[in-house]
């Protein structure tokens, strides 16, 4: 009898384990979401004087407003390419976000109205944005060279493209989007839409996509659901804008 109880106990334990293992696990999209979330916020690190720049950044002292900028002396000792590296990996102006906003779910299935902030609680200072706009052609050349080689654009590069209004890079953005077979970077589609928006491309301003993403009653977190149709429509509109702008 005791032997029979042991056998029954083992049977119920095995049955319970089997039942538990058959419960539906988390959907695949939830496993992918954190990695894509990290991918969206990844920087492209330029190689120019990288060790030198990385050694300088820890020496920066915060001012009374918590800004973190290289001294004018140290900054002016950098070459043009070293300054580019500095700006791409370090933002000088502190900009506190008081409210925590939880990350959206299933980011890899959404084409957002805006790209994420590149530097979280910091943003480029006036000195930094002046460098980018004042050296626009050279900055575009460095970003283009990197994107052509890697088929990627980090969030800092996307932000720089918007900062200098690099609408001539639309073919580069589309090529990077199509050729990166590892990750479908939907923020490149967002970048195309923002270039059309910032340049007031009328066919886009009159579109349903624009109204859904950028109308007065929308928010920073507005998005389009990813679909092949939306992807193709955004690329076609951006291509039409690029071709019209060249005329």
Cα-Cα-Cα-Cα dihedral of 233, 238, 243, 245, to 10°?
140
DSSP string, 136-166: HHHHHHHHHHHHHHHS---HHHHHHHHHTT-
DSSP 8-state code for residue 116: P
Q: For residues 138 and 177, what is the distance between their CA atoms, to the nearest angstrom?
A: 23
Give the model confidence (pLDDT) of 198-231 as tens digits: 999 999 999 999 999 999 989 889 999 999 999 9
Smallest CA-to-CA distance from 81 within 114, 46, 113, 55 is with 46
Q: Say whether pLDDT at 100 is over 80.
A: no
Q: For residues 108 and 138, what is the distance between their CA atoms, to the nearest angstrom?
A: 32
Can you give the pLDDT at residue 182? 85
Continuous H helices in 46-180: 50-56, 72-76, 80-89, 126-134, 136-150, 155-163, 170-179
Q: Say whether pLDDT at 240 is over 80.
A: yes
Contact 113, 220 (CB under 8 A): yes
Can you give the pLDDT at residue 235? 98
Q: For residues 229 and 235, what is the distance between their CA atoms, to the nearest angstrom?
A: 10
Q: How many residues does the chain have?
A: 247
96: confidence class by pLDDT, cuts 50, 70, 90 = confident
Q: Say whether pLDDT at 27 is over 90.
A: no
Can you give the pLDDT at residue 120? 87
Among the listed ranges 22-26, 57-61, 76-80, 192-196, which one has the minimum average pLDDT value?
22-26
Can you give the pLDDT at residue 245? 87
Can you give the pLDDT at residue 32? 44
SS3 content of the chain, % helix, strand, coil (to 5): 60, 5, 35
102-119: average pLDDT? 92
221-245: average pLDDT? 97
Q: Say whether pLDDT at 44 is over 80.
A: yes
Give the model confidence (pLDDT) of 150-198 as tens digits: 999 999 999 999 999 999 999 999 999 999 888 899 999 999 999 999 9
Higher pLDDT, 18 or 50: 50
Can you give the pLDDT at residue 243? 97
Higher pLDDT, 102 or 241: 241
26: confidence class by pLDDT, cuts 50, 70, 90 = very low
Classify 224 as helix, strand or coil: strand
Neighbours of 228 (CB within 10 A): 7
Q: For residues 117 and 115, what is the distance between their CA atoms, to the nearest angstrom?
A: 7
């Amino acid at each position: 009898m005791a032997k029979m109880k042991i056998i029954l106990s083992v049977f119920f334990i095995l049955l319970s384990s089997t039942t538990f293992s058959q419960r539906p696990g988390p959907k695949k999209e939830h496993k992918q979401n954190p990695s894509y979330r990290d991918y969206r916020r990844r920087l492209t690190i330029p190689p120019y004087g990288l060790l030198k720049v990385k050694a300088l950044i820890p020496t920066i002292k915060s001012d009374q407003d918590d800004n973190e900028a290289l001294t004018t002396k140290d900054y002016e000792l950098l070459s043009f390419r070293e300054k580019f590296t500095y700006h791409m990996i370090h933002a000088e102006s502190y900009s506190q976000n008081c409210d925590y906003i939880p990350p959206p779910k299933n980011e890899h299935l959404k084409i957002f109205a805006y790209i994420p902030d590149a530097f979280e609680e910091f943003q480029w200072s006036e000195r930094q944005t002046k460098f980018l706009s004042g050296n626009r052609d050279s900055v575009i050349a460095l970003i283009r060279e990197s994107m052509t080689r890697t088929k990627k654009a980090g969030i800092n590069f996307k932000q720089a493209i918007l900062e200098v209004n690099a609408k001539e890079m639309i073919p580069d953005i589309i090529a990077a989007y199509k050729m990166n077979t590892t990750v479908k970077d939907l923020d490149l589609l967002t970048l195309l839409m923002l270039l059309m928006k910032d340049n007031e491309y009328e066919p886009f301003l009159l579109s349903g996509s624009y109204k859904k993403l950028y109308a007065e009653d929308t928010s920073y977190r507005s998005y389009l659901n990813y679909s092949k149709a939306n992807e193709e429509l955004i690329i076609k509109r951006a291509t039409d804008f690029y071709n019209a702008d060249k005329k």
